[in-house]
Structure 1
Amino acid sequence: MTDRALRTTLTEEIASAVGSVPGVAFLRPGLGGRLRSALPRGAGAANGGRAVPSGVRLSRPDEAGPWRVEIHVVARGQVRTLDVARDVVRAVQVRLAGLLPGQEAPKVTVTVTGLV
């Protein structure tokens, strides 16, 4: 699997894990997500037609080091944002441990950017 395909797959899996956490309304849309509706159909073909979640940023300083994951979410107003952030971190760590067995645990940072 190429590095780009791995990043896309991991990003999608992370987004799925985040979406399953109670209290998360949605991932924060980025500029690309806002403009996507204005693009003609098929414009996402460079990524196999899939939209990469913009609220997840995945990086790796070197090939042997741990992944760094930055997540920006919007939470529901009736929950404590601290609890949501902690639950998101745990969910992402568990998902990545299953996908990348034997690798060093990722550094996961969660920012709650809004409430609805």
Structure 2
Amino acid sequence: MTAQRVDEAAPYQNPADATLAVEVAAAVEGVAGVAFLRPGLTDRLRSVLGRGAAGVPAGVRMSRVDGDGPWQVEIHVVALRRARTVDVARVVRDTVERRLAALAPTLPAPHVTVTVTGLV
């Protein structure tokens, strides 16, 4: 099977997977020290055009090699300057791992990568 890649150009094919990604995004946004998820081009255009929010934020990318494998999760956040960046990244990773374990307890542990793309 080929990898299912999820990003702005290729929306989630399965609505349950999109819901899972939205849940992960909400968990990340609730982490102390996170200013916001990195916006993508469509998020920026949406704000200029005044459209309502739709879909999964660009700062969350999730893919699985097959239906039985672990999630490969990429998180891109902008952190607050007052917080230690490494601590924010660790808490985000732990939060995503716990949230996915709670939402999909039968799946293998996810592989989570967190990148801090900026500070505000």
Q: TM-score, with normalisation over the residues of structure 2? A: 0.83
Supply the distance in 1 between the matched residues of 2:91 and 2:28 (Cα, whole angstroms): 9
* 1:78 equivalenced with 2:82 (yes/no): yes
Q: How far off is 1:40 after superposition?
A: 7.2
For 1:74-113, what aligned pairs fall within 5 Å after superposition?
Answer: 74-113=78-117
5+ long unaligned stretches in structure 2: 1-11
What is the identity, as a one-letter code, of the residue corresponding to 2:46?
A: R
Q: TM-score, with normalisation over the residues of structure 1? A: 0.86
What is the identity, as a one-letter code, of the residue corresponding to 1:16?
A: A
Q: How far off is 1:7 after superposition?
A: 1.8
Q: Percent identity?
A: 60
Task: Considering fraction of residues, name the structure with more helix.
Answer: 1
Q: Which runs of 4+ in 1 moved over 2 A?
A: 37-41
Supply the distance in 2 between the matched residues of 1:101 and 1:107 (Cα, whole angstroms): 15
Q: How far off is 1:35 after superposition?
A: 1.2
Supply the distance in 2 between the matched residues of 1:94 and 1:37 (Cα, whole angstroms): 31
